[in-house]
Structure formats: structure tokens, C-alpha cells
Amino acid sequence: MHDGQYGMSVITNEQNKHFGIEDYENGMKDGKVYNTPEERIEDFAKYRMDSDYVDTLHGGYYNGAAPGNKTTGITVSYASDPAWGSKVAGHMYRADKALGKKDLNKYQLGITNTPRVKVYPTPAASISYLYHFSRTNLGVNDAFGYPVIITDSKAGYYQIISELKAEDDKYNGIGWILEENVTKIN
């Protein structure tokens, strides 16, 4: 929607570059040209999604599932445009709105507001924790952090779901975090 201008850009139509990848700002003759849209989609699925975006250990562009900002999310290493994440989030909002607002406010969202926030298996701090949000630079005036879904509240803790998870995969991103370490955003 964004990088291919809703499928209407010259690069999308002449070179079958539907995802804006390998499109360079210095001219549309640079980068790889695809003969068909199917060829581009297959290339993207095989060689980009797994290796660059989904592989959290080795993916060059993976810094979070959310469109994000220049601190966390897809935008950190991917886009040269610092407002790319906001623009993509706008497209997502408009698509959801057109489809009946099925996602809008479905979940209580939050964002961590301090570095190295620990996530615990129960609503009580302990020496043992499941994982932590490791990025220590929270952005301009500490304004940005990691996005989470808040599912419950108990004894000063929020139960959250995040894209991060315990190394043993037992908790799949679900855990408890001190309420003071999360700011609700919707």
C-alpha cells in the first residue's frame, strides 16, 4: 500500500516491485527487475520474509513486529524515511476502518517506558524472569519503548503479550510486568 502507492507507482507497474524492496531513491533503474508480479511475490516470500524479517536472530531488518519508530519496530533498520512506520500504521488503520473496524481498540495496548523491563511468569517480582526488553535507548526524551498488549491487571502488575518470549518458548510472549513500567496508549 505504502511503498507501491496502492499498486499504482511506476516502479510497481513497470518492474513488478510490489513491496518497494530494492527500489532506490536515486532512480528506478537500480535494483532487481521482476518479469511478473508472481515472480516478485515468490522472491519476497522465499528470500526476504524468512531471512530479513521473520528470523529474529539473524534478520537484518527485524527489530519488532510493529511498524514502529526509529527505536523499535520494523522501521529501525528498514526504512530511510523516519515517518515510514507512522505512514504504514495509517494505511493499516484505514484498511481496518474500511473493513468494519474489527481491530480498532480490540485490545488494550501499552508501551514500555523504561529500559530493560523484566517480564515475570507470575504477578510478583522474583530473581527468575522470563525475558526482558533489551533495547536501552528509548528514543527522544525516553518517549518510545516496546509495544505490548495488556490482557489483565493484578497486584500492581499487567499481564502482557509481546512479540518477545522466553527462550524455552513456554510462555510465548505472555508474562507479567510492573504497571509502572508500561504506559497505556489507547
Given this model, what pLDDT does residue 21 score?
63
The predicted model scores a pTM of 0.69
Amino acid letter for position 110: G
Is the model's pLDDT at 25 over the cut of 60? no
Q: Class of 108-184 per CATH?
A: mainly beta
* Interstrand relation of 108-112 and 182-184 (parallel, antiparallel or unpaired): antiparallel
Place of cell 511478473: 36
**Residues belonging to the chain:** 186
Residue range 139-149: mean pLDDT, rounded: 71
For 14, the 3-state DSSP assignment is helix
Confidence of residue 139 (pLDDT cuts 50, 70, 90): low
User: Lowest mean pLDDT: which of 69-83, 123-137, 148-162?
Assistant: 69-83
Q: Which residue has the higher pLDDT, 77 or 181?
A: 181
Given this model, what pLDDT does residue 172 score?
77
Q: Are 17 and 23 in contact (CB under 8 A)?
A: yes
- C-alpha dihedral over 8, 14, 18, 24, to 10 degrees? -100
Confidence of residue 13 (pLDDT cuts 50, 70, 90): confident
User: Lowest mean pLDDT: which of 30-44, 58-72, 141-155?
Assistant: 58-72
C-alpha cell at 36: 511478473
How confident is the prediction for the chain on average, in pLDDT? 77
Q: What is the b/e burial string over 61-76, where b = at least 16 CB atoms within 10 angstroms of the residue's CB?
A: bbbbbbbbbbbbbbbb
Greatest mean pLDDT range, 37-41, 80-84, 131-135, 168-172: 37-41
Is the model's pLDDT at 57 over the cut of 90? no
Residue 180 has a CB neighbour count (10 Å cut-off) of 12
- Give the residue range(s) of CATH 2.30.30.40 domains in the chain: 108-184
Q: Which residue has the higher pLDDT, 5 or 151?
A: 151
Interval 109-128: pLDDT, tens = 998 888 788 999 999 877 78
